[in-house]
Amino acid sequence: MVRLWPVFGLLLRTPRLELRPLCDDDLAELIDLVRGGVHDPAEMPFLMPWTDAPDAELVANTLRYHWQARAASVPERWSVNFAVRIDGELAGTQELMATDFAVTRSVSTGSWLGLPFQGRGIGSEMRAAVLLFAFDQLGAVRAESSAFTDNPRSLRVSEKLGYLPDGTRVIQRRPGERATDQRLLLTPRDFRRPVWELGVEGFAPCRPTFGIV
């Protein structure tokens, strides 16, 4: 499949983690991780409250999301969901996405970790990995993110990496529930780079995937 879909051959390595684009072989393990919990049910860290769905819907929705995201990814509007593994075990996903990247040179990110892997610095490390990839390999000039103002853990990750506030918006998070979403912006100049180097394999064949030559 790497010959036919080159992005499957992409690999990012950090001191503890391996990030590879999700493939179908990862999905059963991914579903088990989701079922084990992603956050306190009393909280909702996501713009789309996908984890509120009943189990049967959650499973089907998760599978559809990853299949549809992969099928819809084109050079003009791409999305890569990386499976994040530590010591070979799936810990969560880290998404990197962009629209008209060849012109905008702007990316955005989204991620989640299974409950057993939270509080160990993995979230910072996997976000740093895709930021290094975006700035150094893809040539991005800005990276956008966001987090609800009542999600201090996500905001701390962004602050640690050098993101700056970029305005807010008020949305309906759950039915009848208002929440403030803090937008964040990072440039290569402000990026607080980790002390480690990112290992990148398999990038050259998948450059067209990202709309660059």
Task: For each of the domains in the chain, give its residue range(s) and CATH number, in order of start.
Answer: 6-210 (3.40.630.30)
Cβ proximity of 38 and 51 under 8 Å: yes
Question: How many Å apart are CA 75 and CA 19, to the nearest integer?
Answer: 21
**Beta strand pairing status for 106-113 and 142-148?**
parallel
Query: Which pLDDT belongs to residue 52?
Result: 86
Query: Which pLDDT belongs to residue 44?
Result: 84
Query: Which pLDDT belongs to residue 40?
Result: 86
Task: Say how far residue 166 (Cα) sits from the centre of its chain.
Answer: 19
Cβ proximity of 74 and 1 under 8 Å: no
| CA diameter of the chain | 48
Question: How many Å apart are CA 153 and CA 191, to the nearest integer?
Answer: 18
**Sequence-distant (≥ 6) Cβ neighbours of residue 6 within 8 angstroms:** 202, 205, 206, 209
Beta strands in the chain (DSSP E): 11-13, 17-21, 77-86, 89-99, 106-113, 142-148, 164-174, 177-186, 199-201
Length of the chain: 213
Query: Which pLDDT belongs to residue 203?
Result: 97
Question: How many Å apart are CA 58 and CA 182, to the nearest integer?
Answer: 26
List the pLDDT tens digit at each of the 213 positions of the chain. Answer: 899 999 999 999 999 999 999 999 999 999 999 999 888 888 888 888 888 899 999 999 999 999 999 999 999 999 999 999 999 999 999 999 999 999 999 999 999 999 999 999 999 999 999 999 999 999 999 999 999 999 999 999 999 999 999 999 999 999 999 999 999 999 999 999 999 999 999 999 999 999 997
Cβ proximity of 180 and 165 under 8 Å: no
**Beta strand pairing status for 164-174 and 142-148?**
unpaired
Whole-angstrom CA distances from 88 to 16, 23, 162 are 10, 15, 29
